[in-house]
A and B are shown apart, each in its own frame.
Chain A
């Protein structure tokens, strides 16, 4: 059978799968809306394939490749949407994240709260072109009942803010200049890494006009932008949630996930260092005498070229980290001031948790989770887990408090 016939079959299969998924019980409409967008997209691909059917075989082949790519790219997202129906998810937190998303991104934001079978919640691909206004918040499936790690969703929100506010535009020109300066300053390293290009000179003219150098600069700029975006997302997380982001980050990722980290992220100890330096959280008071030292990931073995590009990106990202954190602070304070944490509010909630009752008048999600972590720190070592695990009990209090937050908001908004 020919490839076009098989592609028709594959498109029919994925459309049938989406139609089946749409029969699920979705607790919130955003997942259903997302599935309908995918359904429209793949039905559109069927129409496209049909209209290309009598075209040049190369065009048909290109369409078939695109269909394969899209199925490969979107199938995990369909699974993510299906898992948003899982009753292990912290559904009570949904409204709080909707409020946060609407404040940061706008009223058009559609939030999907789900779980992932990939462990790291920090690597979810956000660039789903079919879902431009969607905020996909996913916790590792094994941790989906653990309310203490909810602040990590702040990182995911950061990706949406990055796209929505086009934050890359703020940093791109600066990064490009820094890359050029780096190459000039490290010209010896450059010639070691690119030995067949030793005839080049690091002049402004060559850096602007030599095709090879222009490509190297573009490669480093792109890697820098990835690292700066991830740094920005950590900054959004720590600004929105303060110490509970640091605790959740530590809980999930320390000392490392083993293996090698992606070059598109600053190394784990470096991310922790940025959080400690620029996050405005007294981590010593939170029990961390040296927060970055809690993390330890391995550096992959790189080719000389990769080493040069990676070192450049690391250096430039480090140079920009402070201003990236300040930009995140400005955005969060400007758009989501009502949601920001307060030490006094968290202390008040902690007192209620210690009396085995949820927050009576919570003001923000961050205050609630900060109180939860404060409870764990204060009582974790003496908590008797015979009847129930500590995190289970704290999550219960946190989630009920978040429900109270929603209840009160709805009454006030009505």
Chain B
């Protein structure tokens, strides 16, 4: 996996147990939950608008609230609630690899949705932001360090360009900023 920091390899830090990955016989690598969480401030954010030019988008700091949960403690996600989290692992994808992040079936069956913007582009580096939502009917305790999601990696044999994007290179969940959509602007 190139965890020695090889420029052409996929780096995952802290590195998963290679034995565990091989023994599982799965086509994915399981990742763990990080310690930072971000919730949206409902009281101060009236709405999000998909058009950034007209949006009442506030700075991330005022639109969201950060929480740090140490190892050994828990975060309770109540039914209907949504929180941004991250993987504990920091990853760096080379230009020749892309990937997808998906939930774990055990959690999905209890109502915990992990991720909806699942693509990981070549060149991504940083901790993956997870969009956790409890669509079940029972509160779920989540704990930093627990197995939370899995990534599937695919090869881009001729990969040369990378698209790290503005969401890369971060250890904490990040709302990001909306990009201007020229087509949408013309239609409006």
Contact = CB atoms under 8 A, between A and B. Distances in A.
A296 interface: no
Contact of B127 (A25, A91, A359, A400): A400
B68 A91 contact: yes
B5 A400 contact: no
Contact of B169 (A25, A92, A388, A399): A388
Nearest to A399: B171
Interface string A27-53: 110000000000000000000000000
B5 A396 contact: no
Among all A-B residue pairs, the 7 with the closest Cβ atoms: A87-B66, A91-B68, A400-B171, A357-B11, A352-B5, A356-B125, A27-B68
Quick one: which of A356, A408, A410 has the most chain B CB within 10 A?
Answer: A356
Interface string A350-364: 011001111110000
A396 to B, nearest CB: 5
Interface in B1-25: 3-5, 7, 11, 13-15
Interface string A375-411: 0000000000001100001001001100110111010
A408 B14 contact: yes
B68 A351 contact: no
Contacts of A410: 71
Contact of A396 (B11, B68, B145, B171): B171
Could you tell me the dominant secondary structure of chain B's interface residues?
loop
B13 A355 contact: no
B35 interface: yes
B64 to A, nearest CB: 11
Given A91-B68, A388-B169, A400-B90, A355 B5 contact: yes
Contacts of B7: 355
Nearest to B170: A396
Contact of B14 (A355, A393, A404): A404
B11 A355 contact: yes
Interface string B15-55: 10000000000000000000100000000000000000000
Given A358-B13, A393-B169, A396-B171, A406 B71 contact: yes
B125 A357 contact: yes
Contacts of B126: 396
B70 A27 contact: yes
B146 interface: no
A406 B68 CA distance: 15
Interface in B67-103: 67-71, 88, 90, 92
Contact of A360 (B5, B69, B127, B170): B5
Contacts, number: 62
Contacts of B14: 360, 404, 407-408
A359 B145 CA distance: 18
Contacts of B145: 407
28 contacts: A25-B67, A27-B70, A28-B70, A87-B68, A91-B35, A91-B68, A94-B70, A351-B5, A355-B5, A355-B11, A356-B125, A356-B169, A357-B90, A358-B13, A360-B3, A360-B4, A360-B5, A387-B166, A388-B169, A393-B169, A396-B170, A396-B171, A399-B171, A400-B13, A400-B127, A400-B171, A404-B14, A407-B14
Quick one: which of B7, B90, B92 has the most chain A CB within 10 A?
Answer: B90
B171 to A, nearest CB: 5
A360 B3 CA distance: 8
Interface string A13-34: 0000000000001011000000
Contacts of B127: 400
Nearest to B127: A400
Contacts of B70: 27-28, 91, 94
B94 to A, nearest CB: 10
Interface string B97-132: 000000000000000000000000000011100000
B87 to A, nearest CB: 11
A403 B66 contact: no
B167 to A, nearest CB: 11
A406 B13 CA distance: 13
A375 B13 CA distance: 19
Quick one: which of B4, B13, B92 has the most chain A CB within 10 A?
Answer: B13
Nearest to A387: B166
Contacts of A87: 66-68
Contacts of B35: 91-92, 403
B13 A360 contact: yes
Contacts of A25: 67
Contacts of B125: 356-357
A281 B145 CA distance: 38
Contacts of B170: 396
Contacts of B88: 403, 407
A355 B90 contact: no
Contacts of A400: 13, 90, 127, 171
